[in-house]
């Protein structure tokens, strides 16, 4: 089997140059991998998605029995390669899913079927891809995420945009990871609803204190997965917090 290396898209954005490529990995029996780079930095890979998937499963599980019979309205901050969104849609209780991403190219990749989960997400009537700045929307002086109804609250917000609360893709995101920013978000989630956050590394004690000052039942989940390159186990973190 011949090796594959193809750049599927390359575009300039306000945050820098973003590119999507697919390649076969000879070290893994030519497994086909999709990768996203921002400038010279790798943002995501289809080879390592377990924590992105668990962001949805752990986040929605945190709702508990209270929401068992409810049709859930869910927000995903950050589309990426679509794994968090697809995992959320595995839950039949999810009635609506809005995925907010600030990058037009990322949404286009899914609309054009350039990424593995694009067609699946576009075919699900519950799923809407929204071009927008999640952090601006979350911080806005409204009580919800709805366009027509600005006071329309949701049941869950699942966030995977920055590498961690202290390692940001854009300096402008910093104000979100404070008591004030988190309070604005909490006001847009129904009582008993959940905020869940993916982080590449363990969050700082300061950020955990901010979470605990705004939310209840804050929990840290270590998500481990095999790393075929190192032959060891790698890990990310998912944080869940309940709206009082």
pLDDT per residue of the chain (244 residues) written in tens, 0 to 9: 578 999 999 999 888 999 999 999 998 999 999 999 999 888 999 999 999 999 999 999 999 876 766 799 999 999 999 999 999 999 999 999 999 999 999 999 999 999 999 999 999 999 999 999 999 999 988 878 876 556 789 999 999 999 999 999 999 999 999 999 999 999 999 999 999 999 999 999 999 999 999 999 999 999 999 999 999 999 999 999 999 9
Question: Domain segments of the chain: what residues?
Answer: 5-45, 50-242
The pLDDT score that the predictor gives to residue 148 is 58
Residues 11/105, Cβ–Cβ less than 8 Å? yes
Q: Minimal CA–CA distance to 127: which of 161, 88, 77, 93?
A: 88
The pLDDT score that the predictor gives to residue 30 is 93
Provide the CA 75 distance to its chain's centre, in angstroms. Answer: 9
The pLDDT score that the predictor gives to residue 155 is 95
Task: State the Cα–Cα distance between residues 91 and 2, nearest whole angstrom.
Answer: 38
The pLDDT score that the predictor gives to residue 149 is 59
**pTM passes above 0.75:** yes
- CATH T-level assignment (fold) for domain 50-242: Rossmann fold (3.40.50)
The pLDDT score that the predictor gives to residue 66 is 67
The pLDDT score that the predictor gives to residue 68 is 67
What phi and psi, each to the nearest 5 degrees, are found at residue 241? -150, 140
Q: 70: burial class by Cβ within 10 Å (0-12, 13-18, 19+)?
A: middle
């Amino acid at each position: 089997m011949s090796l594959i290396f193809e750049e599927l898209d390359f575009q300039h954005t306000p945050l820098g140059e973003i590119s999507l490529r697919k390649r076969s990995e000879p070290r893994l029996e030519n497994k086909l991998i999709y990768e996203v780079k921002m400038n010279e930095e790798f943002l995501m890979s289809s080879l390592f998605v377990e924590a992105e998937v668990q962001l949805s499963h752990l986040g929605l599980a945190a709702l508990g029995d209270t929401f068992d019979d409810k049709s859930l309205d869910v927000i995903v901050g950050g589309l990426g390669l679509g794994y968090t969104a697809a995992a959320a849609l595995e839950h039949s209780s999810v009635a609506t899913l809005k995925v907010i991403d600030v990058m037009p190219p990322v949404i286009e990749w899914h609309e054009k079927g350039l990424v593995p989960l694009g067609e699946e997400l576009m075919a699900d009537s519950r799923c809407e891809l929204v071009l927008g700045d999640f952090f601006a929307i979350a911080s806005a002086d409204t009580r919800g995420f709805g366009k027509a109804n600005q006071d329309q609250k949701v049941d869950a917000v699942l966030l995977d945009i920055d590498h961690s609360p202290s390692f940001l893709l854009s300096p402008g995101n910093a104000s979100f990871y404070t008591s004030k920013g988190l309070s604005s978000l909490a006001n847009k989630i129904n009582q008993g609803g959940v905020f869940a956050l993916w982080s590449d590394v363990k969050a700082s004690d300061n950020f955990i204190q901010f979470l605990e000052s705004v939310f209840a039942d804050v929990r840290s989940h270590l998500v481990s997965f095999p790393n075929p390159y190192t032959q060891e186990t790698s890990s990310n973190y998912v944080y869940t917090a309940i709206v009082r």
